[in-house]
């Protein structure tokens, strides 16, 4: 993680270019998923809440690895090849997991967005699915409210409707969740508060130990 500041800065610029190409909100999630605490990385999320288009993964790789002296020329090449309108608006959402390196890396990503004259909305510590949801709703309000509260509400409403369905005699309203000391622990607890007592989520490895260590 300690060697990724320049990569996140460049990915901030890339998300601005992607937003201009798609005329839509693009997301950046700073996380290394199931890797251990010292690692970190970034996932770029396209307008419908899906992962970045594969052809742009190659562009991201090139931009991340190009020498500093070639950065400007590489950006100009991307802009020219994709006929990007430099004056078009760009909107980016960023989130991060609970890794200690996440805050500084998010600052680097935000600096990149600002350097490319994009607009940024920082949601702080959230889960990766929440970031996907926020991007999708920002581009299609009919899908839901583009807030963390909207995410929990949509899931809770769906769960409660399923709970009222027929053939539920075998249902046991209790699950055991290993949260690996990650961001999912507080998210699960917040989710449970909306379930009207219909589900008990017993969280283990709830944030008091090393991330993904067990």
Q: What residues contact residue 32 under an 8 Å CB cut-off, 6+ apart?
A: 1, 39, 40, 41, 97, 99
Query: Hey, what are 116's tokens?
Result: 């490319």
103/107 Cα distance (integer angstroms):
6
Element (H, E) at 177: strand 174-178
Count of H-run helices and E-run strands, the chain: 7, 6
Active site residue 55: no
- Looking at 90-164, which runs of residues are DSSP E strands? 91-96, 119-125
Catalytic site residue from 19, 33, 119, 153: 33
| Total residues belonging to the chain | 214
Q: Residues 151, 178: contact at Cβ < 8 Å?
A: no
d(CA 72, CA 57): 19
Contacts for 70 with CB less than 8 Å, ≥ 6 apart: none
Question: Would you say 109 and 80 are in contact if contact means Cβ atoms under 8 Å apart?
Answer: no
Q: Known catalytic residues?
A: 33
């Amino acid at each position: 993680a300690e060697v990724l500041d320049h990569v996140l800065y460049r990915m901030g610029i890339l998300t601005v270019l992607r937003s201009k190409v798609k005329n839509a909100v693009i997301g950046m999630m700073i996380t290394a998923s199931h890797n251990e605490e010292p690692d970190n990385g970034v996932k770029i999320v396209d307008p419908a809440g899906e992962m970045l288009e594969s052809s742009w993964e190659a562009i991201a790789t090139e931009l991340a690895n190009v020498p500093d002296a070639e950065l400007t020329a590489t950006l100009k090449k991307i802009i020219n090849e994709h006929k990007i309108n430099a004056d078009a608006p760009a909107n980016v959402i960023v989130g991060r997991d609970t890794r200690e390196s996440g805050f500084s890396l998010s600052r680097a990503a935000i600096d990149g967005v600002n350097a490319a004259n994009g607009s940024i909305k920082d949601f702080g510590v959230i889960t990766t699915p929440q970031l996907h949801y926020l991007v999708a709703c920002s581009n299609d309000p009919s899908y839901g409210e583009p807030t963390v509260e909207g995410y929990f509400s949509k899931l809770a409403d769906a769960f409660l409707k399923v709970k009222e369905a027929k053939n539920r005699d075998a249902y046991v309203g209790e699950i055991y969740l290993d949260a690996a000391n990650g961001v999912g622990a507080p998210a699960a607890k917040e989710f449970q508060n909306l379930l009207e007592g219909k589900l008990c989520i017993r969280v283990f490895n709830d944030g008091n130990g090393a991330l993904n260590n067990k």
